[in-house]
Amino acid sequence: MKSILDILSGIRPEFDFSTSQNYLADGMLDSFDVIALVSDLDREFGIRIEGTEILPENFCNLQAIRNLLGKHGVAA
Amino acid sequence: MKCVTKIGVLQEAMGQIKRGGPDFSVSFFASASKIEAWIAEGALWLSTCEGALLIHRQDGKLLRVCHVATDQPSLSAALGNLVKERPDQLMVADLVGRPEDIERVTRIYQRQGFARHAQLVRMQRSGTWPATMDGAGNVELARTEDLPELRAFMERWLDPLSEQIPSVAELRAAVASEGVFAVKDDQGLAGILIHETTGQSTALRYWHVVGHRHGQGIGSRLMHAFLARCAASRRVTLWVIAGNVAAIAKYHHYGFSEDGMVDNIMVRQSERVTQ
């Protein structure tokens, strides 16, 4: 199974996602990328992230994404 | 139809549209700061129907339409309602994604009377560029007093259907953040380049040289100034009309390449015009 960092690097290989605390403010992910990320997380972890969860604060850094996955019973 | 007065109302409405099915589709990608600005202008409206949300924004004579939809029938119904309510309204929709992903949604818009006005392709550039203004010649940063001329330049030379011409407030913000380069002479503005940097990424929004000034190196000087300015950016993106072979060749020359994303610009003419 891919890690969250693998998935992020697959979307935007030019950035190092392990260092940033805010992917959106740092220009590493834009709105199009967030939609791609949601689809990739759904597919990779067999979950369905709801529309109400597609908020910047749920995708702003690695811990936020981990917390979101945790709500769906995924430890990543 | 409901005017959006708070960003939370929009987020809640978007969240109500169930996703997860293969036909889920979204065409609304505005940043929070843009949404806040449109709300402050009272320009953002919502209309809903079962399984679909339309977000529309009045932009001069145009109505810009975006959607969030669970499936195709819901989107089709929502668009049908909007068209019925406002038959005389010129409407524009941007459908962004990989060509294979937006093909079906494009057909839904076509069935509701929209036609493809243009297709844009996204290009991006990674890697480094020397942070030197060599080659930038007489390029200067635009100033606040240039705003009326800048706005008039853009209204005159850009296609408002393919390019979202910035408001004076947006232009003022771009000038304040030193995001507007200009080449001026005694004939006025000869060329402009507008960009926006967020963290490690920069978006090239507009690069235009007046038609009769082509071939004088103005575009090249603007591009050199721009690339020097965003030398620290790890990613630089832009959108260009797919059929604009000359522009695409120039972008290739400067190290950009297509990244596979396209934007189908769909236009629905007023029924008064089409009859």
pLDDT digits (tens, 9 = 90+) for B8-17: 889 888 888 8
pLDDT above 70: residue B274: no
Q: Which residues on neighbouring strands pair with residue B202, listed in sequence order? A: B197, B236
* A-B Cβ pairs (cutoff 8 Å, strict): 60
> Are A35 and B16 an interchain contact pair (Cβ–Cβ within 8 Å)?
no
Residues of A in contact with B235 (CB under 8 A): 12, 14-15, 27
Q: Could you read off the pLDDT of B72-91 as tens digits, one per residue?
A: 999 999 999 999 999 999 99
Residues of B in contact with A50 (CB under 8 A): 15, 18-20
Q: What is the mean pLDDT of residues B95-99?
A: 91
- Mean predicted lDDT score pLDDT of chain A: 91
CB B60 within 8 A of CB B160: yes
> Are B198 and A50 an interchain contact pair (Cβ–Cβ within 8 Å)?
no
Residues of B in contact with A49 (CB under 8 A): 19
Nearest CA in chain A to B31: A31
> Are A55 and B11 an interchain contact pair (Cβ–Cβ within 8 Å)?
yes
Q: Between B171 and A76, where is the model more confident?
A: B171
> Are B235 and A14 an interchain contact pair (Cβ–Cβ within 8 Å)?
yes
CA gap B252, B244 in Å, rounded: 12
**β-strand B115-126 against B2-3: which pairing, if any?**
unpaired
> Is the complex ipTM more than 0.90?
no
Nearest CA in chain B to A39: B20
**Under an 8 Å CB criterion, which residues of B touch A?**
11-12, 14-20, 26, 29-32, 68, 96-97, 126, 197-202, 233-235, 261
CB B42 within 8 A of CB B3: yes
Per-residue pLDDT band at B272 (split at 50, 70, 90): low
Would you say the pTM of this structure is higher than 0.90?
A: no
The residues, ordered by sequence, that sit 6+ positions from B14 with a Cβ below 8 Å of its Cβ are A51, A54, B28, B53, B68
DSSP symbols for B11-42: HHHHHTS---STT-EE-----HHHHHHHHHHT
